[in-house]
Amino acid sequence: MVFQLLRITVIVFLSTILLAGCGRKADSVAPEPPADMVTSPEGADAEAGMPDGMGDDGAMSEEDVLTERATMAEEQARQAEAMREAEMAEMAQAAFVNEDIYFAFDSFLLDPEAERILGEKAAWLQDNANASVQIEGHCDERGTSDYNLALGERRANAVRQYLTVLGIDSGRLSTISYGEEQPLDPGHDEAAWSRNRRAHFVIIQ
């Protein structure tokens, strides 16, 4: 009887030890992570060292920025060139209007200087085919009003005829005489009179 009790006690003791050992072994084994959560060291290093926004998409964005800058530079260059051409056109038109043809006393003949100036004006008219011009004939204060009106008309017509010889359509050229009525210089000496014997140009559209 005693032997049986001792045997049972040993069996219970050994069973307890075995159960305790299995529990500790189960606790010491960590669960394996899912396969999709495993990251290789190379991948981790690569991800850690890559700045945000870079990669293939970042390279394309940089290329787009460079292209946009080049396009903006070209557009600015075109605008600058257009402004320069506009300024030159304004200067050429101002020169056309402000440079008069001058005549000797009681004459409507064109001298070499007048012909040179008219050559430049014809070139401007050829470059600006939509422009029409009124040619004004002016005289100094000497002589009667009627005589000066007639002389002013002859001066304007002389200029118009010369421009047509240079290839300008006569339909773009009109004439008017002011005689002595609109002097450029109000003086009463030869210097003033020489400035008032002239043909002036007005651009009309």
User: What mean pLDDT is predicted for residues 153-167?
Assistant: 97
Residue of higher predicted confidence among 31 and 75: 75
Query: Binning pLDDT at 50, 70 and 90, where does residue 12 land?
Result: low
Among residues 177, 99, 195, 199, the alpha carbon closest in space to that of 140 is found at 195
E strands, 8-121, are 101-102
Give CA–CA dist 154/160, Å, rounded: 10
Whether the per-residue pLDDT at 143 is higher than 60: the answer is yes
- Is residue 41 very low, low, confident or very high in pLDDT (cuts 50, 70, 90)? very low
Residue ranges and CATH numbers for the domains of the chain are 103-184+196-204 (3.30.1330.60)
- How many whole angstroms separate alpha carbon 129 and alpha carbon 124? 9
Higher-pLDDT residue of 143, 91: 143
Report the residue count for the chain: 205
Q: Is the pLDDT of residue 44 over 50?
A: no
The pLDDT score that the predictor gives to residue 57 is 54
Whole-number Å distance between alpha carbons of 49 and 60: 20
In whole angstroms, give the CA distance from residue 165 to residue 173: 12
| Type of residue found at 61 | S
pLDDT at residue 51 tops 70: no
Sheet with 132-138, strands from edge to edge, namely 101-102, 198-204, 132-138, 173-179
CA–CA separation, 44 vs 52, rounded Å?
15
User: What are the pLDDT digits (tens) for 24-35?
Assistant: 544 544 555 555
Q: Which pLDDT band, with edges at 50, 70 and 90, does 56 fall under?
A: low
Task: Give the pLDDT of residue 47.
Answer: 47
pLDDT digits (tens, 9 = 90+) for 87-138: 777 787 888 888 999 999 999 999 999 999 999 999 999 999 999 999 999 9
- Neighbour count for residue 152 (Cβ, 10 Å): 27
pLDDT reported for residue 98 = 87
